[in-house]
């Protein structure tokens, strides 16, 4: 198992011997000869393991071991000394060391200790990052590959991205299209697949809490910070960090994120020292970042840093071929979860599923099937069980249903689609024209019956009469 090791010893022959031996084992090795240099090296580039001498010219190995354990709780450390005893060994382990080795070295014992320490810390890191992920994020079980031709280019780009595991990726698309699934595909096909992918929804947390989750914090940095806590940047070291809804990030956090992207260094909240990391960034958004840049809501330099490779995921309505495979996948999933026995969809259900526009995309398909399987019983899932009702009205369908140039068409265009006129509008005039148009339509639909017209408009007769008189409508 190749890893990055830091050797801290002020005796050059020992330093050279350890470096040569461990490099021959396939490890990347850096060296330091003092406490100050050790701290500097660790913060520049967090290693997988530190081999630390007990006696250093500017400090005691146990003291630096304790400090490193507080600052980097999942950093593996081995203490080395020529003056060992049982008490010192116990103290070293209590301070956070994985092992305690006596000089002169038994080479086989040293290599075994290194291998064991690396294995222990990797397991602990995975368990911790897994728990942290479960605290905040839902990972969709299973992946249904799209059969839509429009997705072919996206999958081909994901395949090519496997060759470069440092390239930053920006994924854009409507909410619910599966941007998180695509991010997981990119990570799992890359050279970082054995490490963690951590996901943070930038819209899910207040700014201060978001900053602490991303960068971590030092003990006493703010009220409630009773201990030092590593952030997701540290936990994603050598892995991938997926920042969902990146467009919701505040301008102040955008500045700090830009620094990480440019230099791969950051500071914890309340910290005074830079920490170096090796992280691959994937960002996602359902907003138009270019429009936000033009409006001053998103930093232009950060946008260009993120937008190295752009993947645009089309909405489900543009790839309707995927609806039934998704529905069948979720049917099997929730059959198992709820101990149900649905075998397939009735023909009327298939028709409804394929004709529905799915404004909520893949997430909405999942929710609809989950609700139907949970609440219904039987072997065949019908359209009535789906309870989709009438498809939601879109802006385009609303505009198409009204007379061009009418007050209603003008109001819909202003509210939903057309750019705002530079000269502005006369709101009261537009509202008056719109109310007049709607009241006249209600009278026609009610064959002139005032009570029925009022009911259609959700008004009582007095309010309707007041408007008829106000606008001079011929009733």
Counting DSSP H helices and E strands in the chain, the numbers are 21, 18
- The pTM of this model reads 0.60
> Does 160 share its domain with 307?
yes
Q: Are 75 and 67 in contact (CB under 8 A)?
A: no
**Residue 291 and residue 196 share a domain:** yes
What's the number of domains the chain is made of? 4
- 238-248: average pLDDT: 93
**Residues 280 and 321 grouped into a single domain:** no
Is the confidence at residue 242, as pLDDT, over 90?
Answer: yes
**Per-residue confidence (pLDDT) for residue 261, from 0 to 100:** 94
- Asked, for residue 441, whether it belongs to a domain, the answer is yes
Considering the domain architecture, whether residues 234 and 331 belong to the same structural domain is answered as no
355, 386, 417 - which closes a domain: 386
pLDDT value, residue 140: 39
In a domain, 136, yes or no: no
Q: CA nearest 66: which of 473, 418, 243, 75?
A: 75
The CATH number covering residue 217 comes to 3.40.50.300
Is omega for the bond preceding 104 within 30 degrees of 0, making it cis? yes
- Residue 329 sits in a domain whose CATH number is 1.10.8.60
From 20-24, 151-155, 462-466, the region with the lowest mean pLDDT:
462-466
Look at strands 4-8 and 265-266 and give their pairing: unpaired
Q: Look at residues 306, 259, 268, 262 and name the one whose alpha carbon lies nearest to residue 285.
A: 306
Domain annotation covers residue 328: yes
Mean pLDDT calculated for residue range 263-273 = 89
- Do β-strands 216-217 and 229-230 pair in parallel, antiparallel, or remain unpaired? antiparallel
Domain that holds residue 126: 4-131
- Supply the pLDDT for residue 134: 45
Position 306 in a domain: yes
227 and 327 both lie in a single domain:
no
Whether residue 369 sits in one domain with residue 347: yes
Residue 254 sits in the same domain as residue 368: no
- Single residue among 386, 407, 434 that ends a domain in this structure: 386
Task: Please indicate, yes or no, if residue 166 is contained in any of the structural domains.
Answer: yes
- Check whether residue 284 and residue 198 sit in a common domain: yes
> Does a structural domain hold residue 54?
yes
- Nearest C-alpha neighbor of 305 from the set 236, 265, 257, 266: 257
| Separation between Cα atoms, residue 53 and residue 75, nearest integer Å | 16
Overall average pLDDT of the 17-34 stretch:
89
Per-residue confidence (pLDDT) for residue 109, from 0 to 100? 84
- Give, in degrees to the nearest 5, the angle at Cα 249 between 243 and 181: 25
Q: Domain for residue 139, yes or no? A: no
On average, the pLDDT of the chain sits at 83
On the question of pLDDT at 2 being above 80, the answer is no
Among the candidates 84, 105, 131, a domain finishes at 131
pLDDT digits (tens, 9 = 90+) for 47-80: 888 998 888 888 888 888 888 887 777 788 888 8
Identify whether residues 306 and 421 lie together within a single domain: no
Is the pLDDT at 137 greater than 50, yes or no? no
CATH code of residue 64: 3.40.50.2300
> Is 170 inside a domain boundary?
yes
Which range in 102-106, 239-243, 414-418, 469-473 is most confidently predicted, on average pLDDT? 239-243
254 in the same domain as 191? yes
Rounded to whole angstroms, the Cα distance separating 274 from 229 reads 15
Between CA 102 and CA 174 the distance in angstroms is: 59
| Number of other residues whose CB lies within 10 A of the CB of residue 249 | 23
In terms of domains, do 113 and 241 share one?
no
Per-residue model confidence as pLDDT tens digits over 290-340:
989 998 999 999 999 999 999 999 999 989 889 999 999 899 989 988 999
Distance CA 117, CA 122 (A): 9
Write down the pLDDT at residue 282. 96
CATH number of residue 419's parent domain: 1.10.10.60
> Residue 445: is its pLDDT beyond 90?
no
End-to-end CA distance of the chain: 86
Do residues 333 and 282 share a domain? no
31/391: higher pLDDT: 31
Cβ-in-10-Å burial (0-12, 13-18, 19+) of 470 comes to: exposed
Whether the pLDDT of residue 246 is over 70: the answer is yes
pLDDT at 313: 93
Q: Return phi, psi of residue 244, to 5°.
A: -85, 150
pLDDT, tens only, 168-210: 999 999 988 989 889 988 998 888 888 888 999 998 888 888 9
Q: What is the pLDDT of residue 405?
A: 56
């Amino acid at each position: 198992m190749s890893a990055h090791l830091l050797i801290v010893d002020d005796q050059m022959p020992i330093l050279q011997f350890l470096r040569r031996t461990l490099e021959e084992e396939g490890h990347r090795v850096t060296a330091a000869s003092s406490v100050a240099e050790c701290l500097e090296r660790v913060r520049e580039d967090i290693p997988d393991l530190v081999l630390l001498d007990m006696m250093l010219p500017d400090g005691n190995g146990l003291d630096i071991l304790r400090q490193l354990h507080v600052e980097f709780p999942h950093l593996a450390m081995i203490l080395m000394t020529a003056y060992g005893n049982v008490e010192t060994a116990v103290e070293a382990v209590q301070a956070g060391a994985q092992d305690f080795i006596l000089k002169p070295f038994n080479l086989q014992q040293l290599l075994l200790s290194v291998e064991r320490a690396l294995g222990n810390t990797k397991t602990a890191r995975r368990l911790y990052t897994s728990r942290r992920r479960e605290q905040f994020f839902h990972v969709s079980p299973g992946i249904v590959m799209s059969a839509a031709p429009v997705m072919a280019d996206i999958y081909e780009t994901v395949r090519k991205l496997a060759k470069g595991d440092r390239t930053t990726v920006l994924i854009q698309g409507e909410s619910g299209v599966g941007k998180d699934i695509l991010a997981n595909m990119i990570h799992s096909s890359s050279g970082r697949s054995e490490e963690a992918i951590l996901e943070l929804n930038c819209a899910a947390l207040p700014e201060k809490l978001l900053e602490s989750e991303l960068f971590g914090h030092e003990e006493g940095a703010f009220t409630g910070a009773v201990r030092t806590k590593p952030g997701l940047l540290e936990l994603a070291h050598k892995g991938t960090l997926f920042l969902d809804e990146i467009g919701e990030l505040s301008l102040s956090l955008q500045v700090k994120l830009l620094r990480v992207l440019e230099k791969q260094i950051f500071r914890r909240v309340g910290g005074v020292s830079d920490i170096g990391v090796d992280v691959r960034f994937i960002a996602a958004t359902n907003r138009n970042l270019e429009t936000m840049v033009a409006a001053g809501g998103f930093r232009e330099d950060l946008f260009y840093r993120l937008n190295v490779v752009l993947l645009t995921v089309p909405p489900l309505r543009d790839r309707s071929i995927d609806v039934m495979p998704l529905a069948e996948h979720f049917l099997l999933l929730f059959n198992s979860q709820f101990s149900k026995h649905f075998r397939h969809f009735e023909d009327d259900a298939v028709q409804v599923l394929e004709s529905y526009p799915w404004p909520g995309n893949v997430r909405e398909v999942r929710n609809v099937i989950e609700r139907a399987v949970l609440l219904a019983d039987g072997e065949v899932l019908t359209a009535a069980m789906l309870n989709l009702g009438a498809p939601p009205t879109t802006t385009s369908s609303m505009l198409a249903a009204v007379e061009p140039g009418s007050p209603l068409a003008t109001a819909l265009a202003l509210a939903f689609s057309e750019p705002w006129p530079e000269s502005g509008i006369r709101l009261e005039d537009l509202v008056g024209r719109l109310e007049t148009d709607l009241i006249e339509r209600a009278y026609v639909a009610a064959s002139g019956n005032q009570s029925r017209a009022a009911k259609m408009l959700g008004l009582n007769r007095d309010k309707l009469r007041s408007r008829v008189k106000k606008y001079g409508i011929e009733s």
